[in-house]
Chain A
């Protein structure tokens, strides 16, 4: 019997689908005779009292979640997401550099440093990747901090905003598709497969309505894990292997029958009735991994 702490922030309970998924994790753990407690930021000093830590709050080396992850890891606890996965997944520059090094097929990307933001470089990028391009901040998550630019003015405007936090950003080829594959992976095994549909008239899964702060999300179509195309499965697992052996959500685009990785996310969304629709065992599998 193990004691699992699930690190959450208040916002994790604001969406009933996520709240329900969190209770499913608790139920799965208790069914296996494990203790499962929600750990909030004021309880961080209790980490040594647990055997495993499961982080559901948003991860980033600059957030409290990294403190939780690294503390647990230093104390020898099993932890999802581990600090190395957070380090690689929270910084897309790090991630794409690893994809390049280990020949993971990924979306065409160039890096741009802060001191390279000049006319000639921008022209070179448009020449290499075509117009428009997608400008991505390294710390992107939930479709935020990813914008499209079709001219030098908007390119500069977006890049300058992203350079405030990071001295390097990623520029990618604009690759519109009807959906992105989302492959959930745990410990080198596919856990679930979905299609994250792109809302009509938009180009990313979560898109703002023109002039409004509201974000519209595309539908999630959950597939039977067994029907995951072999090539997609291999591509997703290869991408995860350069990150680690934890829990990931891999976004993949299918272009002319070829699969290219958009990004590997640690701390992937798990909403009741969505990612778990065809594979109800994802909760117990994650609990098994934490307690093995």
Chain B
């Protein structure tokens, strides 16, 4: 197993830096670890390089793109049986208000905004959210009804700190195989619904997180041949 990591893992693990991997022809199952898998960033190009070499790689380019596009994330998740709320893609405030009511949670669907979401409890707040996340109505947004409370957790290989969210984190990892990410979850009466998936800022990865990631990588090393993408 080739581990390509932008994160400094514990010293006992052998990992290649992305720059080195990108100039190599290293063959083998590739585990691409990066806090930021955004399209056209280094984390994406590592997976692309692995795919071009014919390596099986986690995560795949397709999963990187799909998981970062909220409407596709939710569509694929729902089709795999992961609980999600109804979502609509539109640039119309009226349509959101009519079809979903209030309050709502709104995500950007454009090339420039890749993190965060906004909630809106009334028409004025929704106008502000759609204007801001749609970059002055130039782009569409993805809106979901907000029936409970929003919660954000770090997910490392589908493991997180919140027992209520843990089952959904596992399922999302099984489907999209994004090793390092944060999940936005809506909790309604103790049940978790997937709302969004976004990168983690490197500054938000604390030593305990790195230790946890290293432990998971070690576990995968131990699995050896049983790993499959």
Contact = CB atoms under 8 A, between A and B. Distances in A.
A93 interface: yes
B59 interface: no
A281 to B, nearest CB: 34
B79 A41 contact: no
Contact of A113 (B19, B66, B76): B19
Interface string A122-144: 00000000000000001100000
A97 B91 contact: no
Interface string A165-182: 111100000000000000
Contact of B89 (A41, A138, A139): A41
A69 to B, nearest CB: 10
Nearest to A63: B111
A62 B110 contact: yes
A115 interface: yes
Contacts of A66: 65, 69, 72
B36 to A, nearest CB: 10
Interface in B85-102: 88-92, 95
A66 B111 CA distance: 11
A102 to B, nearest CB: 10
B48 interface: yes
16 contacts: A44-B90, A66-B65, A67-B72, A74-B72, A74-B76, A87-B62, A91-B48, A94-B48, A97-B48, A97-B52, A113-B45, A115-B19, A167-B40, A167-B41, A167-B42, A168-B22
Given A66-B65, A87-B62, A44 B111 contact: no
Contacts, number: 88
A238 interface: no
Contacts of B109: 64, 67
A110 B110 CA distance: 29
A201 to B, nearest CB: 33
Nearest to B41: A167
A196 B46 CA distance: 35
A192 B68 CA distance: 36
A44 B45 contact: no
A61 B65 contact: yes
A42 interface: yes
A94 B50 CA distance: 11
A114 B111 contact: no
A71 B95 CA distance: 20
A60 interface: yes
Contacts of B65: 61, 66, 87
A70 interface: yes
Interface in A23-63: 41-42, 44-45, 60-63
Given A62-B110, A67-B109, A139-B40, A45 B89 contact: yes
Contact of A87 (B52, B61, B76, B140): B61
A93 B71 contact: no
A165 B40 CA distance: 7
A168 B40 CA distance: 7
B121 interface: no
Contacts of B79: 74
Contact of B140 (A41, A101, A115, A166): A41
B75 A45 contact: no
B139 interface: yes
A98 interface: yes
B39 interface: yes
B89 A114 contact: no
Interface string A279-291: 0000000000000
Contact of B111 (A45, A60, A97, A167): A60
Nearest to B39: A61
A222 B105 CA distance: 50
Which 6 A-B pairs give the minimum distances between C-beta atoms? A62-B111, A166-B40, A97-B52, A167-B42, A44-B89, A61-B65
A97 B50 CA distance: 11
Nearest to A138: B40
A116 B42 CA distance: 13
A98 B53 CA distance: 10
Given A45-B90, A113-B19, 14 more contacts: A41-B91, A42-B95, A62-B110, A67-B71, A70-B72, A74-B76, A84-B62, A87-B62, A114-B42, A115-B19, A165-B40, A166-B40, A166-B41, A167-B45
A62 B39 CA distance: 8
A168 B45 CA distance: 8
Interface string A194-207: 00000000000000
B9 to A, nearest CB: 20
Interface string A61-95: 11110110011001000000001100100010110
